[in-house]
A = this chain, B = another copy of it.
Amino acid sequence: MVKIKGFAEWLPEHQLLQDEIIATIKEQFQLHGFAPLLTRSIEHLEDLLDQGETDKEIYAVNKLGSDSQAEWGLHYDLTVPFARYVSENQGRLQFPYRRYQIQPAWRGERPQLGRFREFIQADADIVNKGSLELRHDADLLSMFQNTLSKLPIPATQMVINNRKLLQGFYQGLGVDDIVPVLRAVDKLPKVGSEETLQTLIREGLSDGKAQAVLDLCAIKATSSEELEVVGDLGVSSELLSEGLAELGEVLDRANSSTIATPVAAALHIARGFDYYTGTVAETEMLDYPDVGSICSGGRYENLVHGDREAIPGVGFSIGVTRLISYGLNHEFLSSEKVSPATVLVAVNSEDKRADSDAVANQLRRRGIACMVSDSDAAYGKQIKVAERLGIDYVWFPQAEGDEVKSLGGRSQEPADSTNWVPNS
């Protein structure tokens, strides 16, 4: 009976908050025509080990008492299972295929504030056979920025970059091995410029090249026009031009529709996973920089194994558990509701409980969540129970006409269960 570190379980009031957040995300994704998907929790280990540096983080799953080696592992994100699902079902899906997926993922990392071993992610991706137009990157960014703005959280900003731009820049600089440079850049916000510079020099870059890498990282822009400063760094390559054009187009399109906070380009964004090939994105909480990214993702050209042609995709993922844990810790999220009920129907005396049940059933038929008091204690005590549960109204069934008390407003009014509505 010991809590397991890194495996979050919320109290009822925070569960309700999580439920509200998930419902809002789901609603926005569905409004955009994204279809739900739940994949199995396990994958073949070789499929999990195929992607990036993740081997040490995987939980293996095996029949208890089995003599053979584990063949399965719990998925560490929702992109890899989604790619596998699309690959398996490519003959039966309608393309472009838009799906969202809200379920747990697992990583055996050392737990700390905001980093869990079991955590709920909310992903939305679009994939297509053959090719997937660049406008989807922008449309999806708008959808996510819009979704985040509907959540009960402070202002967020999505910041993007492009892998081709980064790789093209490093190639233009004459760097041979790009991977360690990408990794060093990915850690920049955590370790700072000075340490990143030293790491790059240790990786064999000249002082000048290392400085150029850092100069690129410092660039921020909210339009293709503002991105033109990249040219001033004096580096060029075909891939750099391509990445720059893509990034500019995505930025301009994402910001063409009115969204709460414009999407920004920030050229230090790299993203750890190896499967990204174009757009990459992270999301900052503007007043809480220490929270890190609460929504990340990007474009992947080669993750889904198409039978006859490529199946490129783009998708982003909101870290629901991370958001809630930071929100509770930093107190930008809170919840007073412990029960989802809107009304507590009081019980006058046990022999009249049936009257209270009848009121409750009538309210429920009309879509109003309620519970019947568990005791026939004095009304003052029943009201206290409602207050503890964060229930807004207490209903008193009475022979001479029912009454309902609003606990917020402290008023008590006659009411009829066949037509009463909350906040009336």
Instruction: Point out residues on A near B: beta carbons under 8 Å.
Output: 1-4, 7-12, 15-16, 18-19, 30-42, 44-45, 47, 55-56, 58-65, 70, 72-74, 84-85, 87-89, 92-94, 96-99, 104, 106, 108, 118, 120, 128, 135, 256-257, 305, 338-341, 353-354, 357, 361, 364, 367-371, 374, 385, 388-389
Question: What distance in Å separates the Cβ of A404 from its nearest Cβ neighbour in chain B?
Answer: 16
Question: What distance in Å separates the Cβ of A169 from its nearest Cβ neighbour in chain B?
Answer: 31
Contact yes or no, A31 B367, CB < 8 A: yes
Question: What distance in Å separates the Cβ of A179 from its nearest Cβ neighbour in chain B?
Answer: 23
List the B side residues contacting A62 at CB < 8 Å.
Answer: 59-60, 62, 70
Contact yes or no, B60 A1, CB < 8 A: no
Residue of B nearest to A89 (CB): B11
Contact yes or no, A35 B16, CB < 8 A: yes
Known contacts A35-B338, A339-B98; A73/B84 CB under 8 A: no
Contact yes or no, A93 B36, CB < 8 A: no
A135 to B42, CA, bound (A): 41
Question: What distance in Å separates the Cβ of A126 from its nearest Cβ neighbour in chain B?
Answer: 9
User: Which residue of A8, A31, A39, A73 has the most chain B CB atoms within 10 A of its CB atom?
Assistant: A31
Q: Out of B19, B36, B45, B257, which one reaches A361, CB within 8 Å?
A: B257
- The copy count of this chain in the complex is 2
Question: What distance in Å separates the Cβ of A316 from its nearest Cβ neighbour in chain B?
Answer: 17
Contact yes or no, B41 A370, CB < 8 A: no
A3 to B120, CA, bound (A): 24
Contact yes or no, B92 A11, CB < 8 A: yes
Question: What distance in Å separates the Cβ of A68 from its nearest Cβ neighbour in chain B?
Answer: 13
List the B side residues contacting A341 at CB < 8 Å.
Answer: 33
List the B side residues contacting A3 at CB < 8 Å.
Answer: 88
A304 to B8, CA, bound (A): 20
Q: Out of B32, B93, B357, which one reaches A364, CB within 8 Å?
A: B32
Q: 10 pairs across A/B with beta carbons < 8 Å?
A: A9-B39, A12-B35, A19-B36, A31-B369, A33-B341, A33-B370, A35-B340, A59-B62, A60-B62, A96-B374
A92 to B389, CA, bound (A): 12
Given contact pairs A1-B88, A8-B40, a sample of 5 additional A-B residue pairs in the complex whose CB atoms are under 8 Å apart: A4-B72, A9-B39, A31-B364, A59-B62, A94-B389
Contact yes or no, B104 A41, CB < 8 A: yes
List the B side residues contacting A2 at CB < 8 Å.
Answer: 44
A64 to B338, CA, bound (A): 38
List the B side residues contacting A16 at CB < 8 Å.
Answer: 35-36
A84 to B64, CA, bound (A): 21
A120 to B39, CA, bound (A): 12
A41 to B116, CA, bound (A): 13
A42 to B4, CA, bound (A): 9
Known contacts A12-B99, A35-B338, A94-B389; A40/B7 CB under 8 A: yes
